[in-house]
Amino acid sequence: MTDILDHKTSPPPELLYRHRLNVRRDLLDLWRNRRLVRTLAERDIRASYKQSFFGFGWAIVTPLLTVLVFTVFFKRIGRIDTGSIPYPLFAYVGLLPWSFFTSSVSSGAGSLIYNSTILNKVYCPREVFPVASILVQAVDTVLASAVLGLLFIYYGTAPKLTTLWVPVLVVVQLALTVGLTLAFSTAVVYVRDLRQVLGGILQMGLFLTPVAWGIRSVPEKWRVAYCAIDPLAAVIDGYRRTVLQGKPPSWGLLVPAAMTSTIVLIAGYYIFRRLEGGIADVA
């Protein structure tokens, strides 16, 4: 018995199992599993609304209440320059993308832990879990944008034609969201404390990002650097300019933001791939 163990104590290095990074293959794998992503998203939507009395209403009530709080506090206390736009509309156009971002990252960060029973037993590309949780939040966001329609009707205005720019902004925002979600979903499995840290950062982000206030409150010379560090500042400002003010996004802010988002996406994918291999060992 011992003789078997003694002369073979470690594998020859040429046999080590390596994870090769292959974006094309991974995307293809994800596409093949699109049905699974859909099933997982459906499952989560159902599981979260099935047991609650109010059902889908929560997707609308929560952001509505937040805007109400913002209106009472920020409008009365701080002086916020919204131009000619009614403050609730101004705030809601910021809040909608922000809550999509923050709930995606926080629920996506927990997605691998939440689904550990599945990923410990059945093989599937692990990306499906964070991607599905982003999809769930996207559905919530679409539901919540019904409130936006009500606000437009109430204030007797309509989205401007420049709203057509929105897909570009969505792409920048998605890159950032997916990158952070991928990185955190795996890192959290190894260091559980990260989830609390992440919650704190997102909480602060609500106030550090121009959600309740406008980018004009940031001094002109700092704005580019600000948007490079917090791409969402440029994205939210972009939504307001295009949807509410009828202006194209300010490219001077959006381009640095897009660069940061791209870097975050690449880094997130890299971290995910590196850490993903050992998840079944620790989860």
Partner 1 sequence: MSPEAAGLAHGTIRADHIWKRFRSDDRRWSVSTQFNYWKARRRSGDEDFWRWALRDIGVHIEPGEAVGLVGPNGSGKSTLLKILTRVMHPYAGRLAVSGRVGALIEVKAGIHNELSGRENIYLYGSLLGLNRREVASRFDQIIAFSELDDAIDRQVKFYSSGMQMRLGFSVAAHLDPDILLVDEVLAVGDASFQQRCHDRMREVLNQGTTLVLVSHDLAAVEATCNRCMLLVDGVLRGDGQIRDVLGEYREWIEEVAAGRQTIEAIVPLLKAVADDGERGSPRSDGPLEVRLVLDSAEAQKAMLFIGVSEGPATPIFVIRRNMTLAAGELELVCRVRHLPLPRGRFHVWVGIYDSSWRELLPWHPATFFDVIGNRLMKAPRGIVRLSPVQVTADWDESRR
Among 17, 79, 156, 161, binds partner 1 (CB under 8 A): 17
Minimum separation from the CB atom of position 126 to partner 1 (A): 10
Tell me which residues in 147-166 interact with partner 1 (CB under 8 A): none
Minimum separation from the CB atom of position 44 to partner 1 (A): 9
Enumerate residues 6+ apart whose C-beta is below 8 A from 267.
Answer: 179, 183
Residue 120 touching partner 1 (CB under 8 A): yes
Among 15, 31, 79, 84, binds partner 1 (CB under 8 A): 15
Separation of alpha carbons 128 and 39, rounded Å: 10
Smaller CB separation from partner 1, 193 or 220? 193
Minimum separation from the CB atom of position 205 to partner 1 (A): 24
Separation of alpha carbons 75 and 95, rounded Å: 15
Smaller CB separation from partner 1, 3 or 220? 3
Minimum separation from the CB atom of position 130 to partner 1 (A): 16
Separation of alpha carbons 148 and 99, rounded Å: 14
Of the listed pieces 33-41, 72-80, 229-237, 256-264, which binds partner 1 according to CB under 8 A?
A: 33-41
In what helix (H) or strand (E) does residue 281 lie, and over which residues does it extend?
helix 279-282
Enumerate residues 6+ apart whose C-beta is below 8 A from 272.
Answer: 126, 127, 182, 183, 185, 186
Smaller CB separation from partner 1, 112 or 211? 112
Smaller CB separation from partner 1, 220 or 281? 281
Among 191, 219, 220, 221, binds partner 1 (CB under 8 A): 191
Residue 281 touching partner 1 (CB under 8 A): yes
Measuring CA to CA, how many Å separate 127 from each of 95, 155, 182? 27, 42, 8
Smaller CB separation from partner 1, 63 or 108? 108
Looking at residue 206, its amino acid is L
Which two three-digit tokens encode residue 35? 């049905």
Among 154, 190, 207, 222, binds partner 1 (CB under 8 A): 190
Residue 55 touching partner 1 (CB under 8 A): no
b vs e for 198-217, b when ≥16 Cβ sit within 10 Å of the residue's Cβ? beeebeebeeebbbbbbbee
Which of 92, 111, 87, 88 has the alpha carbon at shortest distance from 37? Answer: 111
116 Rama class: left (phi>0) / alpha (psi -120 to 50) / beta: alpha
Binding-site ranges for partner 1 (CB under 8 A):
1, 4-5, 8-12, 15-17, 19, 25, 32-33, 35-36, 38-40, 43, 46-47, 50-51, 117-124, 190-192, 277-278, 280-282
